[in-house]
Amino acid sequence: MENRDILIIGEHLDGKLKPSTLELVTLGQRMAEQGTRTLGLVLIGDHLDGVCEDAARQTGLDILYLRVPGCDYYNGDIYKTLIQAQAVAWNVSHVITAHSSQGTDYAPGLAVRLYAACITGVNGLEQTENGEPLFSRAICGGNFNTLIRSQSRCTVLTVQPGYFPARDHVDKPGQVSTETHECVSETTQVMGMEKARAAASALGQARIIVSAGRGIGSEENLDVVRRFAALFPGSALGGSRPLIDMGWLEYKHQVGITGAVVSPDVYIACGISGSSQHIAGMNTSGYVIAINTDPHAAIFNVSDLCIVDDLVGFMEAFETLVET
């Protein structure tokens, strides 16, 4: 496969291409449209022929399958070694990875190896007058966005999910080239993978999600949120990560970058500040309602209806209204 300017690192799980890969491709395509840049999509692992064919069909891009016999699980060291070699071989300007547990694991180390800039959590693309890309990312718990220009020859990006929607299906599939590498990690060995105890199926199917955040104040107030959610048929209960960390809700309820990524028709955020990690999990919801005592809460930036109020008082008043 001939050299490419932008190296996109696809993600896969259980023999399937992860949808995040298509979002990385969208960012790459937008960068290619800004300048004359070419894209290559790389998949790393073993037994990925079907995944690569699928990626070539869904993206229309040529796929480089870096096959590592025996590499059935993600290993950060192997990824860094192979991506570094590929980035150097192609002399790429950018490496695009997902802002996922994998991407955030290897991207900084990869950037060090490549003497590259590392811009994490990219949520937007702009350009200078000269057509140079500018990347935005959220800071201060999502209250501000910064715009960053890389000053390095090569830049490693991790892309926040939900900000670069996958583009429509392409007619002509790309070509798959396979290279086999005997590559082992000298530092770590992945022994296996276990699915989390519970799947977020209820959240995935619900048309309305009522999510509770630390602003509920106490575990007892979850009952108020549950009663409020029960007023909406077909709704499910979600939560921000602190509630899961405190043991108030099970992990299957967590919404966000390390929880479920949901797209219900209506998302009601109750006492949730709107960190970038939470927003990444609900950003594609249809209509967002937020209840928060802080009128400057970041969640209001992504809300269609902003209710500045104490959530318990609001919910109890709403319940009374519905009952009468």
Ligand X SMILES: Cc1cc2nc3c(=O)[nH]c(=O)nc-3n(C[C@H](O)[C@H](O)[C@H](O)COP(=O)(O)OP(=O)(O)OC[C@H]3O[C@@H](n4cnc5c(N)ncnc54)[C@H](O)[C@@H]3O)c2cc1C
- Interface with ligand X by CB under 6 A: which residues? 213-215, 217, 240-242, 254-259, 271-273, 275, 277-278, 281, 291-294, 297, 310-311
Q: In the complex with ligand X, which residue's Cβ is closer, 44 or 268? A: 268
Least Å distance between CB 242 and ligand X? 5
Give the residue with the Cβ less far from ligand X, 213 or 264.
Answer: 213
Distance CA 99, CA 142 (A): 15
User: Closest separation between CB of residue 222 and ligand X, Å?
Assistant: 13
For the CB of residue 247, give the shortest distance to ligand X in the complex, in Å.
Answer: 14
Backbone angles phi, psi at 101, to 5 degrees: -60, -35
List alpha helices for 60-177, DSSP H.
76-90, 101-114
Q: How far apart are CA 277 and CA 258, in angstroms?
A: 8
CB of 218 to ligand X, least distance (A): 10
Q: Which two tokens stand for residue 72?
A: 């059935």
Rounded to a whole number of angstroms, the minimum distance from the CB of residue 300 to ligand X is 9
CB of 296 to ligand X, least distance (A): 9
Sheet of strand 266-270, all strands in order from the earlier edge strand to the far edge: 235-239, 208-212, 266-270, 287-292, 305-308
CA angle, 129 then 130 then 132, to 5°: 100
Which is closer to ligand X, CB of 65 or CB of 228? 228
Burial of 25 by CB count in 10 Å (0-12 exposed, 13-18 middle, 19+ buried)? buried
d(CA 199, CA 145): 32
User: Which residue's structure tokens are 């967002």?
Assistant: 288
Give the shortest CB-319-to-ligand X separation in angstroms.
16
Of the two residues 10 and 161, which places its CB atom closer to ligand X in the complex?
161
Closer residue to ligand X (CB): 53 or 310: 310
With residue 322 as reference, give the H or E element that holds it.
helix 311-323
Q: 304 phi and psi, to 5 degrees?
A: -90, -30
Close Cβ partners of 116 (under 8 Å, ≥ 6 residues apart): 95, 110, 152, 153, 154, 155, 156
Strand residue runs (E) in 185-274: 208-212, 235-239, 266-270
CB of 264 to ligand X, least distance (A): 16
